[in-house]
Amino acid sequence: MSGAYDEVDLEDMEWSDDARAYTYQCPCGDFFQITLEELHAGEDVAHCPSCSLVLLVIYDPDDLPPLKEAEA
């Protein structure tokens, strides 16, 4: 994706139980977020809810944890 602020491996992101998403620190002070559901759907862009920056997430779909019943 062109225009992404940066690229980051999913392994470098942290899981947030509160956000129910993988997160990564944004320069604005908030966090980029991408949910497990989005990743399973093939999404690879994490958005910051506080600014217009986006992050390209690098991951192997085969390495994703399975969705739980409530998440599917």
- Nearest-angstrom CA–CA distance, 30 and 42: 24
CA angle, 65 as apex, 59 and 70 as ends, to 5°?
Answer: 125
* Arch. (CATH architecture) of 6-60: Roll (3.10)
Q: Domain spans of the chain?
A: 6-60
Rounded to two decimals, what is the model's pTM? Answer: 0.86
Residue range 63-69: average pLDDT? Answer: 85
* Three-state secondary structure call for residue 11: helix
Model confidence pLDDT, tens digit, residues 13-59: 999 988 889 999 999 999 999 999 999 999 999 999 999 999 999 99
- Nearest-angstrom CA–CA distance, 8 and 56: 6
Model confidence at 70, pLDDT cuts 50, 70, 90, reads low
Q: What is the CA radius of gyration of the chain?
A: 12
